Structure 1
């Protein structure tokens, strides 16, 4: 604590997911395994796509960026939780807490925009197959991805900067396992009504906009697929979208619950937050690799090369 006219908080205590020691040990083991699987799975996709030139297409370019986002999103929250458990110090400095808020929303916001971009990519591929390579050329793909990162950065800045302006004079216990804008603002010494409304509006507009883009894209996709006469053709078209649609559902569902509502704390918030920061990033590699024949074949080829070498 530093005294300068008023007592100010310089570090926070993260209460974590449970105060029960036995439950904490179980959670630590589970999160360690899940995080290692997240790192291994997403790195495997990145390496696989990089190594095979046949996968250097817009869809796999977007998939590799999604894997990087999932890796970063999970890394923002989980390692700090694991380190705190080992060190038996559940503290985080004020600056590190603000940084965690920023990077959480940077990766999360960028992933929202990126999933919308992937929906648009599938829309172009199915609705305009003959013009797909012209519309989604390398330059356009790179520009789109750059825009998603830029928009994610603006969103993260809008979430983190207001928190730096709030006065914190105690208590300093955050009822969460990572720093986020709402659990942090609850501890402020002054009224946070305006900042809470601004946070909810910012996150709500982002989530709603991305959700609408995805929904509209899939309305056109489904409409086009249903016009395909052959059952085999319809099945093939739907299979190219199934993985992405499943990922979108798993990611947007919890986000809509968390950020498109009045700024109140509910008992299940930590569990829901854990789903999109911990569970979704580890599921995405399995969803894409288990359903994608090209990726599986490339992995087998790389495995064969490694075995020979």
Structure 2
């Protein structure tokens, strides 16, 4: 039995579709079907119930999937233990990148990792959609906390950023400068919507105060939201590094500067119900070493980060947001 065919079986089981698995693996459907049939013939069991548009595991297939997960994990763990840190990696990594701050810093780290391992190929999917990482064959994702509510993930903080409210002099000249957090609620604030429909409308000022904002403009891009503020159309809630240049040249002004900034977190995440490949392990270790707070290296074999099952409701956003005041 080839480990490649075992991994292919897992992709079919996780996507529930021969066509989707073939697309994810960049293989012809006929090749995937032939290799699956060869695996079933070798095992002398039927792994899937085949419908016109979907594939569901048989009882034997489900048992084999659960048991073979451990086999794949143990195989990768053995390779991981036997391979020194300088060994060249191969394979393919699929990374989801949410529209978050410090995109340039993250991509510099990704490209540096590629330079270290020229045989490795990477695919970056830029999306704000909270998806099933297992089904979509995603190895790693860079996300912000509100995106974690529907995902069963292991998450590790890689850095924090200062979040504040900003507005242009033109907007403030017409609408006045808010003097208290409560006054922010009466202004037009650019909102941020995830593709699952949820909108940020409850935002933190400092570490304890929370305001419920509303506005006539919504986007899934921080840069677009900042442009909204630059055009004098309203207030934006943004990371400090994104607006630094605009503050320096006077295009934007910090609101409520006497109140400490709220510290927002960016996470590296990966599925909790799937084995982590050797390439993923090395990539996660590298990102944590390069970007983790205080530069403290973290090793996957001694991981102490808590596994979060993020299904609880969050106060960071609300579905019943008022978009048009």
Category of TM-score, reference length = shorter chain: under 0.3
How does the TM-score come out when normalised to structure 1?
0.23
Higher helix content, 1 or 2:
1
Larger-Rg structure: 2
How does the TM-score come out when normalised to structure 2?
0.22
Higher strand content, 1 or 2:
2
